[in-house]
Structure 1
């Protein structure tokens, strides 16, 4: 049986003293050692209103330099963030983390802003062809002029000309995660909260057959029973235990045999294909 996907979720806040960078690194390294595929770095407010010590994308850059294999999913970016800034930040992180970055987009909304934001970001990630940067000193050519593309998006919420001023990310597109099944068609991962059942997982797969659906593991729950009952591809596990992060990591899930080697992208680890650019030339017959 294929080992389930495992994503840890940790917060840069607490009810008492906000965690230091060392605290966060201990949690993430423990998850990496245990074979977790990724960790969500969340700087949003806690239930009691406590704010985080670190901004999530800055924290992810620091964690990327101190880890080798685990994926780093940042959340949240400000709801009013412009698509260009979202695309530039996430693309830059993917280069810094050598293809281990993901982005947890905001919730679905009635007017479709989040869905459009995701699609504009995807278009901007395709601004440069994969082979656009040639670094040819002899000819004085940094990139091929025909390898850069404007987006010229005009939508309900955004008008974005582009192009992005960052090379195409190592993963093509950083992994896009959402928490709302209604956005499954715009995402690579759907991270479901506690209480979702097999019906929700089936709904996700109906909306987007290639998307991975993961269920939250409540404290004390049997991970094997939850996986069997929901039919999910994996679990989202809280790893915010303040004293010993390993106490929150589920055991006997068979993840050690599937732990990704250093240098593997998050997409490869999750079994997600690297998307081709929308501007890619058709293969010769």
Structure 2
């Protein structure tokens, strides 16, 4: 199954993860999701990797559930159908949560269709950049199911607001790259031939900053979406800022670099 998820290093400290089942538009068959879960677990502990770009091979980012060839779920021998379903969903949940918990920021390079679970994968990334050929669909409602899956009803309203999220999820309509950019579902749209290089540029810029700085920024951004109160979130932000300020020399390096009109060189300790 490893051939269905490819890992490359296009630039120093940047990992490119490619879903590689283009004949099925990189659908979320377990033959793809099992190795993706393993890759995420490896990358989070790869201290040479400072940012991750996720994309799909061919003309699709990910078309969601594979209704023709779902693939094999590990460790389900002897389970009844309800238990099999629970284990299957747990595995997919782990992929979404794994992206969110990854130490490194994740940039989704959405090259084509992001449908159903594929939309969830994109939303689990920290930054989304779309090709002008990309489109998005919350497909569950079109299949006679709920459109809520893999955190979609949690993540989408936080990305674009509740009214737009309700409309998109309840109608099952397509969202073009142009609309996605306008409503904030993606940071920007670019020409297909520029997509990966744009994402590599973003990843390289992020990789140049303090490792604990970027990790804690990602952590506090996500916790802010979960925060019960502004006060509690501000305390978490303050502790993170204090941690970086006291335990690294990066603030002093940034100040010195500006004075000397040069690029800052950040390290993880004083």
Instruction: Please indicate, yes or no, whether the TM-score normalized by the shorter chain is above 0.5.
Output: no
Band the TM-score falls in, shorter-chain normalisation: 0.3 to 0.5
- Give the structure with the higher percent helix: 2
